[in-house]
Chains A and B, each alone.
Chain A
Amino acid sequence: MRRRRWACALIVLAVPLLLALLGPLFAGEPGPRGASFTTGGGHGAGTDFVGRDVWRQVLLGGRPVVLAALAATALAYAVALPLGLCGALTHRRWLDELLTRPLDVLLAVPSLLLVLLVAAVVRPGAAGIALLVALVNIPDAARAVRAAAAEAAARPVVEALRMQGESWARTALGCVGRAALRTLAADAGVRLTGVLYLVATASFLGVGAAPDAADWAVMVDRNRTGMFVQPWAVALPALLIVALTMGTNLLFDAALAGRTPRPAPGRERPPAPEPPPADATYPAPGPNEKDEP
């Protein structure tokens, strides 16, 4: 069962990852441009909005997406995690306020607007835009972390760790963060997708990746006008993005699946070596009956 889930998640994830990783090796030289949004004509998957071969763009377009999205998400979390945990763990209200209120200011400005404004002012490159998108995500992620960790941070274990003079990092990451892991994984997985499209939208608005860049997210965005003439130009990269985010999240799910104690099926009741007793009047525990640890 577990193995099947792993396999399923890995297969879904492998397609976009392999394409992203190895695609550029097989992309080859650009052929001549065709007319925009045509199907056939030597282009297996048709042409895109500027008449390039869609398949070649797909091969080339994975790396930046995967890199930008992963980097921005990771970066956002690298900052948000300590911030959020700090907010959850401190009892100094002023510190909590000091950490969260300024971030709330960023939060009150719609992220797209913020990216748009800041990017128009500082004109960052591709790395800069990842940084910017990460920055925009920090307040949100920090709040998510804080919310997810709030309960765990108030547990007596944490008091006990403090009593032991345990270091902040170990308390925060090792104990509190770990307790909130599932929620954080869900949040991060979802955030990955959000980040991805924010990067794409930013590029359309003229910042970060070139607007005709080989980049799955940018492709989805830019080829939308031709969605009905040449669906592949949107569908292929979109499907790959779906696979990427779905695979990542399913992998998280599979990895975290075994963490809550749940009885293995068939073990909830004594697997009677003798025939089931006639007087077993207790109803079979429902499928959700969970054992206490």
Chain B
Amino acid sequence: MTVHTAHEIARIRDLRVEVDGRALVDGVSLRLAPGRITALIGASGSGKTTTGRALLHAYPPGATVTGEVSVPDTPVGYVPQHPATALNPARPVAALLQDIARPQVRHLPRRARRPALRHRVLDALARAQLPDGETLLKRYPHQLSGGQQQRVVLAQALLAGATVIVADEPTTGQDALTKREITGRLAAVARQGIAVLLLSHDLDVVRALADEVHVLHAGRLVESGPPELLRHAPQHPRTRALLTSADPTAAAAPPAPSSALPAPSSALPAPDAVLRVRGLTARHGSSRVLHVPELRLVPGCLAVVGRSGSGKTTLGRCLAGLHRTHDGQLRLDGAALPRSLRDRTRAQLAAVQYVFQDAHASFDTHRTILDQVARSAVRLRHRPRAEATADAVRTLRSLGLTGDLPHRTLAELSGGELQRAALARALLARPRVLICDEITSGLDPVTRRGLLTLLEGLLRADPDLCLVLITHDRDTAALATTLAVLDAGRLVEHGPAARLRTAPRHPLTAGLLQVPGPAPQPSPVGPDPQHQ
């Protein structure tokens, strides 16, 4: 390790966070130095978030904390794993951004403050890859897509002039192109002398950015070193597992899409569509955000890809009956499907299930996860309680949520765990059409592989199942037999996965599916003005 202790700006020493006698993090020590990006990787639930939040002096309620955490006086920037939690639902995006920037313009004459304020805010948004900040400023958080929310939160951190930034999965909700730009931005940030703690599953990003990588396993640091070292000579079996399963070469052999799964539609005469969408035009208020003239969901796996904010979630929500303001026609097995899920029968509800992009917000804070998951079987399949619970436990276990995890509440689970719980909840309804909105974004490669295998198994077991994967992740998209590409609310390309991968017609398709990996160089956005 070549850490310059003299320059360290923040430090965690021997941190142990214990809840109810169980250590979430144990003996973790980290040093953050200005201008360096420290990555913390590890399986879902290994304690990354807990460690990262320690730098904010934020611990789970009732936790016993020992060890030492020192951070500088300046604000510590934080991009939480669930960006929605950091956004005030009752205020437009601009409110907090402007308040953050206000002290920075105080020295200006009164008249000049307003434009300067505005300029700074827009600039920060642009640096966080939200170039059309103008329109976003007036919006409320719920009017942003998941990725946009994340970038807004990043913009806050950039604007605040933090010397330490804790970025918890900053790229999860982003498409490959945006991701590359954000990585570039983070690198640029670091070059200005900001210490970045990167908590991520995305090894591409880690590899491209990190100056130093720490591997967490079950709350303990098992290995540390520069990324190259870890890659070429991982010492710990866990590290190995993490790294190999995410190795591009490993991912290059996608989970055998064509072997076991039903052949893509080009091979056979089109099978009957389970869900047909016709003339779908979705609006948010008066603005049209999605237009899909025709979409047929056939058994098998459809991946919906597109840039962040292109309308993927909106499409999923339209199908699920969560988004009412559209004028398309939905037909499930030939029968009309009501637009709003309130009008759907329980059978129809069970048939089309949606896994929320923001898993955190989709759970009730008071009840245990198990209880909430089991309700699907009780309500939608009329199972008795006990049976439903057993079913839920089984499903959760198959997703890696074992032990007492299911008996905890929302606040006591990690981001990845929640995502899996949300999937379990949908699975328990035994849906015909299962729409998964970025369900692998919060998962480490190992867990993700496991999850994809499980989905694959589902597809195989139920040849009628229609799986819609909304994703930015190429590995995940690799599961699909069909691909749909959305751009700015339009369905620009739709066809067999193999063809789109090899011979994309639309440049975006190529961009999204064939990006070789995040650019190691920063994107051409200028340096932060506030650090000039």
Instruction: Report A-B touching, CB under 8 Å.
Output: yes
Task: Of the listed stretches A23-31, A188-196, A281-289, name the one at the interface; the rest are far from the partner chain.
Answer: A281-289
0 or 1 for each of B322-333: is its CB under 8 Å from A? (1 = yes): 101000000000
Tell me whether A263 and B379 are in contact (CB under 8 A): no
Q: How far is the CA of A7 from the CA of B63 in the complex (A)?
A: 26
Task: Assess A263 versus B61: contact at CB under 8 Å? Given A270-B69, A293-B411.
Answer: yes
B62 within 8 A of A: yes
Distance in Å: Cβ of B70 to nearest Cβ of chain A:
5
Quick check: B73 and A281 within 8 Å, CB to CB? Answer: yes
- Within B311-366, the residues touching A (CB, 8 Å) are 320, 322, 324, 340-342, 346, 349-350, 353-354, 356, 358, 361-366
By beta carbon, the residue of chain B nearest A274 is: B68
Report whether over half of chain B's contact residues are helix, strand or loop; otherwise say mixed: mixed
Q: Which of A157, A161, A165, A166 has the most CB of B within 10 A?
A: A165
User: In the assembled complex, which residues on chain B have CB atoms less than 8 Å from the CB atom of A271?
Assistant: 65-66
Residues of B within 8 A of A268 (CB): 57, 59
CB of A280 closer than 8 Å to a CB of B: yes
Q: Is the CB of B349 within 8 A of A165?
A: yes
Could you tell me the distance in whole angstroms from the C-beta of B317 to the nearest C-beta in chain A?
9
A148 CB, min distance to chain B CBs, angstroms = 14
A165 touches B410 (CB 8 A): no
Contact check, B57 vs A282: say whether CB atoms are below 8 A apart.
yes
B508 within 8 A of A: no
B350 touches A165 (CB 8 A): yes
**Interface size range on A against B:** 35 or more
Distance (whole angstroms) from the CB of B245 to the closest CB of chain A? 30
Interface residue? A151 (CB, 8 A): yes
Is B70 in contact with A167, judged by CB distance below 8 angstroms?
no
A270 in contact with B425 (CB, 8 Å) = no
Write the nearest CB–CB distance from B512 to chain A, whole angstroms: 26
Pair B425/A164 contact, Cβ less than 8 Å: yes
Chain B residues, CB < 8 A from A155: 361
Residues of A contacting B11 in the complex (Cβ-Cβ under 8 angstroms): 279
Asked if B89 is an interface residue, CB under 8 A from chain A, the answer is: yes
- A163 touching B72 in the complex, CB below 8 Å, given contacts A272-B66, A289-B57: no
B50 to chain A, nearest CB (A): 12
Q: Are A163 and B353 in contact (CB under 8 A)?
A: yes
**Cross-interface CB contact of A156 among B53, B342, B361, B375, cutoff 8 Å:** B361
Are B70 and A280 neighbours in the complex by a CB distance under 8 Å?
yes
Q: Bound state CA distance, A285 and B71, in angstroms?
A: 12
Given A91-B324, A151-B90, A159-B322, the answer on whether A282 and B61 have CB atoms closer than 8 Å is no
CB-CB nearest in chain B for A283: B73
Q: CA separation between A262 and B61, bound complex, in Å? A: 6
Nearest neighbor of B341 in chain A, beta-carbon distance: A162
Nearest-neighbour CB distance to chain B for A153, whole angstroms, equals: 13
Q: Which of A123-181 contact B (CB under 8 A)?
A: 151, 155-157, 159-167, 174-175, 178-179
Contact residues in A for B354 (Cβ distance below 8 Å): 163
CB nearest neighbor in B for A179: B365
Interface centre among B72, B324, B366 (most CB of A within 10 A): B366
With A166-B375, A261-B411 known as contacts, the answer to whether A292 contacts B66 (CB < 8 A) is: no
Which residue of chain B lies nearest to A291 when distances are taken between CB atoms in the complex?
B58
In the complex where A163-B349, A270-B69, A277-B68 touch, is A157 in contact with B376 (Cβ < 8 A)? Answer: no
Q: Please judge, given known A-B contacts A269-B57, A279-B70, whether A165 and B379 are in contact too, CB under 8 Å.
A: yes
Given A91-B342, A261-B411, A272-B66: A160 in contact with B71 (beta carbons within 8 A): no
Query: Contact partner of A178 among B85, B366, B379, CB < 8 A?
Result: B366
Tell which of B66, B89, B90 touches A273, judged by Cβ atoms closer than 8 Å: B66
* CA gap between A282 and B362 in the complex, in Å: 34
A108 beta carbon closer than 8 Å to chain B: no
Across-interface contacts of B411 in A (CB, < 8 A): 261, 293
- Is A121 an interface residue, CB under 8 A from the partner? no
Asked if A2 is at the interface of the complex by the 8 Å CB criterion, the answer is: no
Most B-side CB within 10 Å, residue of A264, A269, A293: A293
From B352, which residue of chain A is reached at the shortest CB distance?
A163
| Complex contact B322–A163 (CB within 8 A) | yes
**Is B429 close to A, CB under 8 A?**
yes
* Inter-chain contact B322/A267, CB cutoff 8 Å: no
B90 and A270 form a contact (CB under 8 A): no
B90 touches A164 (CB 8 A): no
- Answer yes or no: B380 CB below 8 A from chain A CBs: yes
Does A263 contact B59, Cβ atoms closer than 8 Å? Answer: yes
Do A166 and B379 contact each other (CB < 8 Å), given the known contacts A282-B73, A291-B59, A292-B85?
Answer: yes
B362 pairs with A157, CB closer than 8 A: yes
Q: Name A160's contact: one of B58, B68, B425 (CB within 8 Å).
A: B425
**A269–B358 alpha-carbon span in the complex (Å):** 30
The answer to the question of B67 belonging to the interface, with a C-beta cut-off of 8 Å to chain A, is: yes
Known: A166-B375, A271-B65, A273-B66. 9 other contacts (CB 8 A): A91-B324, A156-B356, A160-B422, A164-B380, A164-B425, A263-B61, A267-B59, A268-B59, A281-B72
Which 3 A-B pairs rank lowest in CB-CB distance, beginning with the nearest? A261-B61, A293-B411, A165-B379
CB<8 Å pairs between A and B, sample of 30: A91-B340, A91-B342, A151-B89, A156-B361, A157-B363, A160-B422, A161-B364, A162-B349, A163-B320, A163-B354, A164-B349, A164-B375, A165-B376, A166-B375, A174-B364, A178-B366, A261-B61, A261-B411, A262-B61, A267-B63, A267-B65, A269-B57, A270-B67, A272-B67, A280-B69, A281-B72, A282-B70, A282-B71, A292-B53, A292-B85
